[in-house]
C-alpha cells in the first residue's frame, strides 16, 4: 500500500495518535505525517504510506492554509485557548475594521518569528514544551517565515460584557509558521494582549478540507476493501513539472542514480521523471554541473 491519505484530523487528537491508529487500520508500519497539528487544531493532515513516506519532507515544505480566530483582550501561556491567562486588558470599544485590516496588511511577506515555549521545537535535545512544563524558559531560535496572504474574514465581533473582540481570518503561510504566534503578534501591533481562539487547517500538500477523510470513514472503507481514500504518488505530484524518460535515460542513468542533461524545464523547480507515466524520481537542477541531479528516488513506485 503506497500513497497519501488526506486525513481530516479532529480536535483533541495529536498527529502521532493518528499515525498509531492508522498503522492498525491499514496493517502497515510504514506511515508518517507531514507536519504536526496541535491537539486543539483540526483540519487537513496528509498521511504518507509505504513508498510515499519518502515524500514527507517534500510535502511538509509546501505552503499551508488556515482559517482561524484571534481574540483581543487577553493573552495566555500557550498562545491559544488552552493556556492560563497571562495578561488581560478589556476593550472599552472595538477596533474598527479599517484598523484591523491595516494590521493584517502589515503582517504579510517575509517576517521573523520566535516559536512559542509550548511547541515541539527542540533546543539542546529537548522539546520546548518540556522546558515550559518544568517552568524553565530558554532562548529560542528565530525563524524566518513567509506570509503569502493574511486577511480578515467576515465581520469582527465585540462583546461588551467580556471586553473581548474576536476576528476571524484566513492565512496562507510557509512551512514552520506558528499561527498562534501570528495571533499574539497581531495583538502586539495593536498594543493589546491576544491569543488564537480557534484554528482549522484548510489546505496542505495540495489537499483541501473538502477532499479529506475521517478516521471512521477510512476504517469503514477498509472493511469494504475500498482504498480510494489513498491518493497515488502520481496524483500527489501531478503539479510538479514532468519529463518522460527515454529507454537510455531510464536504464543507464536513473536506475543507477545518474545525472540527466538537456531537459527543457523550469530550473528553479523540481523535475518529476516518469517511466510509462509513473513517477520514478524527483530531480533538481545543479547550476555548477549544468545538469539535473537526483533529489528523491521512487524507483519502486508502481
Q: What is the pLDDT of residues 209-242, one digit of tens each?
A: 999 999 999 999 999 999 999 999 999 999 999 9
Specify the CATH number of the domain 3-62+205-234.
3.30.2350.10
**Residue 256 pLDDT exceeds 60:** yes
Distance between CA atoms of residues 271 and 292, nearest Å: 8
C-alpha cell at 98: 479599517
Could you tell me where in the chain the CATH 3.30.2350.10 domains are found?
3-62+205-234, 64-201
Distance between CA atoms of residues 271 and 11, nearest Å: 37
Mean pLDDT for 131-149 is: 80
**Residue 265 pLDDT exceeds 70:** yes
pTM equals 0.89
**Residue 143 pLDDT exceeds 90:** no
Give catalytic status of residue 247 as yes or no: no
**Residue 35 pLDDT exceeds 90:** no
Nearest CA among 132, 141, 10, 144 for reference residue 78: 132
Q: What pLDDT is stored for residue 83 in this prediction?
A: 87
Q: What pLDDT is stored for residue 37 in this prediction?
A: 86
Q: What pLDDT is stored for residue 118 in this prediction?
A: 63
Residues contacting residue 223 through CB under 8 Å, at least 6 positions apart: none
Q: Do 116 and 131 meet the contact criterion of CB atoms below 8 Å apart?
A: no
Specify the CATH number of the domain 64-201.
3.30.2350.10
Does the structural domain 240-297 have CATH classification 2.60.40? no
C-alpha cell at 283: 530531480
Could you tell me where in the chain the CATH 2.30.130 domains are found?
240-297
Nearest CA among 146, 9, 10, 153 for reference residue 70: 153
C-alpha cell at 129: 514544551
First to last CA, the chain: 10
Q: Do 177 and 207 meet the contact criterion of CB atoms below 8 Å apart?
A: no
Going by their DSSP bridges, the two strands 194-204 and 74-76 should be labelled as: unpaired
Which of the four pLDDT bands, split at 50, 70 and 90, describes residue 131? low
- Distance from CA of residue 285 to its chain's centroid? 25
Return the C-alpha torsion angle 130, 133, 134, 135, nearest 10: 120
Which of the four pLDDT bands, split at 50, 70 and 90, describes residue 247? very high
**Residue 4 pLDDT exceeds 70:** yes
C-alpha cell at 39: 491537539
Q: What pLDDT is stored for residue 280 in this prediction?
A: 96
Q: Which of 2, 38, 42, 80 is catalytic?
A: 38
Task: Say which DSSP state 246 is in.
Answer: P
Q: What pLDDT is stored for residue 1 in this prediction?
A: 84
pLDDT more than 90, % of the chain: 79
Q: What pLDDT is stored for residue 10 in this prediction?
A: 94
Going by their DSSP bridges, the two strands 278-286 and 271-275 should be labelled as: antiparallel
Q: What pLDDT is stored for residue 121 in this prediction?
A: 62
Amino acid at each position: 500500500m503506497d500513497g497519501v491519505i488526506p486525513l481530516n484530523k479532529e480536535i483533541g487528537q495529536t498527529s502521532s495518535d493518528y499515525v498509531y491508529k492508522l498503522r492498525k487500520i491499514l496493517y502497515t508500519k510504514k506511515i508518517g505525517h507531514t507536519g504536526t497539528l496541535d491537539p486543539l487544531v483540526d483540519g487537513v493532515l496528509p498521511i504518507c504510506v509505504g513508498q510515499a513516506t519518502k515524500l514527507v519532507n517534500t510535502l511538509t515544505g509546501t505552503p499551508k492554509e488556515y482559517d482561524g480566530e484571534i481574540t483581543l483582550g487577553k493573552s495566555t501561556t500557550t498562545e491559544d485557548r488552552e493556556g492560563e491567562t497571562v495578561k488581560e486588558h478589556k476593550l472599552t470599544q472595538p477596533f474598527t475594521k479599517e484598523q484591523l485590516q491595516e494590521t493584517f496588511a502589515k503582517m504579510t511577506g517575509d517576517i521573523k518569528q520566535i516559536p512559542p515555549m509550548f511547541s515541539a521545537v527542540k533546543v539542546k535535545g529537548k522539546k520546548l514544551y518540556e522546558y515550559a512544563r518544568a517552568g524553565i524558559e530558554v532562548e529560542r531560535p528565530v525563524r524566518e517565515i513567509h506570509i503569502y496572504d493574511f486577511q480578515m474574514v467576515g465581520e469582527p465581533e465585540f462583546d461588551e460584557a467580556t471586553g473581548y473582540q474576536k476576528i476571524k481570518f484566513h492565512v496562507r503561510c510557509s512551512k514552520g509558521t506558528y499561527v498562534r504566534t501570528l495571533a499574539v503578534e497581531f495583538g502586539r501591533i495593536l498594543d493589546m494582549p491576544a491569543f488564537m481562539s480557534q484554528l482549522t487547517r484548510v489546505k496542505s500538500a495540495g489537499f483541501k478540507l473538502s477532499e479529506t477523510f475521517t478516521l471512521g470513514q477510512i476504517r469503514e472503507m477498509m472493511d469494504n476493501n475500498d482504498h480510494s481514500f489513498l491518493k497515488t504518488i502520481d496524483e500527489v505530484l501531478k503539479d510538479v513539472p514532468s519529463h518522460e524518460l527515454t529507454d537510455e535515460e531510464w536504464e543507464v542513468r536513473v536506475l543507477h542514480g545518474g545525472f540527466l542533461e538537456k531537459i527543457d524545464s523550469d530550473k528553479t523547480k523540481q523535475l518529476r521523471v516518469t517511466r510509462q507515466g509513473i513517477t520514478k524520481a524527483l530531480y533538481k537542477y545543479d547550476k555548477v554541473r549544468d545538469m539535473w541531479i537526483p533529489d528523491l528516488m521512487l524507483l519502486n513506485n508502481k
